[in-house]
Homo-oligomer: A and B are copies of this chain.
């Protein structure tokens, strides 16, 4: 179940990477690279930092196939797929929620301290999008946007508390995914934001 949601997350993130590539008029290879970096970048950095070899997509190249196929599909679609922006954002929220939980799980399986597990959850959820934005020469959107990483962090905290300290792994995953997704959807719906930082010294 988690595995299926994970593949869904990979697919959705690959789609957002492909669409970003489209906005910058990249060629076919650029689209595939951005899709892979967006979909797999967060988990790759997590596994590198945890020293968890083999990296998840080296162990199971099916992830590569899913992300690559999504990119090709977007690239070759005769018309731009008429995915509404809000549908895409909601799907992206599902990916964010699932990736967060998977990142926490991976770190917990390796016996990392709780604070590290939470950081790894957030890293898995948000780093892919940050790489995507750096490659397309933008200041990463998630550093500026409505509650995004904050939703991921909330989910990570919930997951680690319920799974590690209360020993209810399934409930933890369910609660964390639901809460992250709900918070993210609410942020999209009502454009909730964290306070921004205005430095007058700039």
Seen from chain A, the residues whose Cβ lies within 8 Å of a Cβ on chain B are: 19, 21-31, 33-34, 44, 48-51, 53-55, 58, 61, 64-65, 75, 80, 112-113, 115-116, 119, 130, 134-140, 142-145, 148-150, 153, 193-202
Contact in complex: A27, B196 (CB < 8 Å) = yes
A201 to B19, CA, bound (A): 9
Chain B: minimal CB distance from A74 (Å):
8
Supposing A55-B49, A80-B201, A201-B80 touch, asked if A25 and B64 sit within 8 A by C-beta, the answer is no
In the complex, what residue of chain B is closest to A135 when comparing beta carbons? B140
Contact in complex: A115, B61 (CB < 8 Å) = yes
Chain B: minimal CB distance from A89 (Å):
14
Residues of B with C-beta under 8 A to A26? 139, 143-144, 196-197
How often does this chain occur in the complex, in copies? 3
The one of B33, B80, B113 in contact with A143, judged by C-beta atoms closer than 8 angstroms, is B33
Residues of B with C-beta under 8 A to A130? 135
The one of B23, B65, B193 in contact with A199, judged by C-beta atoms closer than 8 angstroms, is B23
In the complex, what residue of chain B is closest to A19 when comparing beta carbons? B199
A22 to B80, CA, bound (A): 37
12 A-B pairs whose Cβ atoms sit less than 8 Å apart in the complex: A21-B197, A22-B199, A27-B144, A29-B143, A29-B149, A29-B150, A30-B140, A30-B142, A48-B48, A58-B113, A64-B119, A135-B143
Contact in complex: B138, A29 (CB < 8 Å) = no
Contact in complex: B27, A194 (CB < 8 Å) = yes
In the complex, what residue of chain B is closest to A153 when comparing beta carbons? B29
Taking A135-B140, A137-B137 as known contacts, 11 extra A-B pairs with beta carbons closer than 8 A to each other, sorted by chain A number, are A22-B202, A25-B197, A29-B143, A29-B149, A30-B140, A31-B197, A33-B149, A51-B53, A58-B116, A64-B119, A136-B139
